[in-house]
Chains A and B, each alone.
Chain A
């Protein structure tokens, strides 16, 4: 298995632009998580899905952030409009509920908003 796939790996954009991050979970996994990691705040859970349904989005910082999972093999995290304080590494992770809920992380997207 290729593991969790994220794209793009790096994104540099200007304040006010729309940013879309993409994730393909491991086949067969029924949970998908979006995290943000910064030096100041560590690893923060933004939202997670179970069987494509958003379960908990309480970590989404504000209305500028939205996430979708149209099918079991694809999810997006969108920021519109982006701000410099959104600069971080965004990780997608997936897990299978039948195996102790171990999360497998993708390589991350490094976002820089100028």
Chain B
């Protein structure tokens, strides 16, 4: 089992819809959770991080963490074509290492 797993996609949603991206992790002692966005040919950039159970909202983005079930999700409301990118989930494990998932490709259709 890989340490951090994501559906590779591509995930296609119409403009204005909610995009839901999911990530599961294997290390139950993981501490911090990050979502990065990577446009084609560019470097990853942080969108959000979440440290404790529950939801965290920042504009159109909401990160949800469920430690009991070991998954993290990212919701993008009112999706825009500019949101089309690969979204990388990253997890800081109990042994102090940040592991990136393979990423989910999102395409927002105008």
**Which residues of the other chain, A, contact B44 by a CB distance below 8 angstroms?**
43, 91, 105
The majority secondary structure among interface residues of chain B is: strand
Closest B residue to A42 using CB positions: B102
A contact residues, total (Cβ < 8 Å)? 16
**Which residues of the other chain, A, contact B32 by a CB distance below 8 angstroms?**
100-101
Interface residues of B (CB under 8 A from A): 32, 34, 42-46, 49, 51, 88, 92, 97-103
Q: How far is the CB of B23 from chain A (nearest CB, A)?
A: 13
Interface residues of A (CB under 8 A from B): 35, 42-45, 56, 91, 100-108
Are A56 and B97 in contact (CB-based, < 8 A)?
yes
Closest A residue to B31 using CB positions: A101
A106 to B43, CA, bound (A): 7
Shortest Cβ-Cβ A-B pairs, 7 listed? A105-B43, A42-B102, A43-B100, A105-B44, A102-B46, A108-B43, A100-B49
A35 to B44, CA, bound (A): 11
Are A105 and B92 in contact (CB-based, < 8 A)?
no
8 CB contacts below 8 A, A to B, read A42-B100, A43-B44, A45-B97, A45-B99, A103-B98, A105-B44, A105-B45, A108-B43
A108 to B39, CA, bound (A): 13
